[in-house]
Amino acid sequence: MATEVLVPTLGESITEATLGEWLKQPGDKVAADEPIASLETDKVSVEVPSPVTGVMGQHAVQVGDTVQVGAMIATVEAGGGAAAAAPAAAAPAPAAAPAPAASPDAPAALSPSVRRAVLEHGVDPATIKGTGKDGRLTKEDVAAAATAATAAKAPAAEVPATPSVAASTGRKEERVRMTRLRQTIARRLKDAQNSAAMLTTFNDVDMSAVIEARTKYKDLFEKKHGVRLGFMGFFVKAACMALKDIPAVNASIEGDEIIYHDYADISVAVSAPNGLVVPVIRDADQLSVAGIEKTIGDFGRRAKDGTLKMDEMKGGTFTISNGGVFGSLMSTPIINPPQSAVLGLHRIEDRPVVRDGQVVVRPMMYLALSYDHRLIDGREAVTFLVALKNAMEDPTRILIDL
């Protein structure tokens, strides 16, 4: 008996999604609750589980199609799949199976990022052993296979050969449809520029004290809390303190009213395979540094796996974006509406600074605060950054809330 696979409820006000990829092909065995497809919404990728144990039936939609919540996208033959397997056994074997082949040894379905890597490197995914979850291929697996293939071909390059007359000398282009997530990111960022009176102010911070504290306590911290001590925990706590001092930075505009929040829900920008996602640390002002680090670490892992939930993306009163992990020296981050400000962090580098009349070298970081000038005055923006700078340069202030 065939069971229909329906598009699940995707969250408040979300009525449709795009089919990102099929994780199971017709004829594949599936277990109940095993992911069989991936949907891309405006915010995250959502996996669709199989409602029953059985054999994957026919796909009702194609990759890239837009589907509505509640719509049928495929069928699964319940039970052992005998009804579906019998016709397949009676049919003559095809000359070539479509990729990926529906067999126990077939490679796991490729994610969009891995698929791009396969195309770039020109390797056969069926010959690569995946090291990801459930044996899936990762970008690193593809890159390693490409490197190994190049090394294997090196000796053969020493043998004189007649140049191929079929080799193309033309320039290539690839046209790839934007994912729903990327379209949403583009639209929201442009809307933010169009609606807010956006301005950015800068400062820098001497990271010596925080680096010293982290070096001194990181081993004990990890042993006690089971998570690494990073810099984001310090920055989130320092930002929460500064937000209390300058509440306008933590506020938002709704119509002709200003909404002030007596809590700090901090959005943290996290890199995911399909783009940047911004999960929210709820009540960050009430969390310890360890609690913040655990939450951020969990967000990072689940962003890569595509398992972040819709509710974890909603809300947020202030955003912190750390471009420094990618090597950025300075940037002007864009506000995440309806928030009124975003803090940009950048890489730490040794620079000469003057201390007590002497030129010394210190590990410095540029800070950037982009804000909506309709709500936040320049004085408030600068005061916020100075408060943040003071807390980071003297972490004791974070401990005693000064």
* Active site positions, annotated: 373, 377
HEC letters along the chain: CEEEEECCCCCCCCCEEEEEEECCCCCCEECCCCEEEEEECCCCEEEEECCCCEEEEEECCCCCCEEECCCEEEEEEECCCHHHHHHHHHCCCCCCCCCCCCCCCCCCCCCHHHHHHHHHHCCCHHHCCCCCHHHCCCHHHHHHHHHHHHHHHCHHHHCCCCCCCCCCCCCCCCCCCCCHHHHHHHHHHHHHHHHCCEEEEEEEEECHHHHHHHHHHHHHHHHHHCCCCCCHHHHHHHHHHHHHHCHHHHCEEECCEEECCCCCCEEECEEECCEEECCEECCHHHCCHHHHHHHHHHHHHHHHHCCCCHHHHCCCCEEEEEHHHHCCCCCCCCCCCCECEEEEECCCEEEEEEECCEEEEEEEEEEEEEEECCCCCHHHHHHHHHHHHHHHHCCHHHHHCC
Reading the block at residue 220, the tokens are 């004990």
Give Cα separations from 60 to 3, 18, 67, 75, 246 (angstroms).
13, 13, 10, 8, 53
Report whether 337 contacts 188 (CB < 8 A): yes
Of the candidates 135, 101, 141, 105, the one whose C-alpha atom is nearest the C-alpha of residue 123 is 141
Q: Which residue has the tokens 């169009």?
A: 194
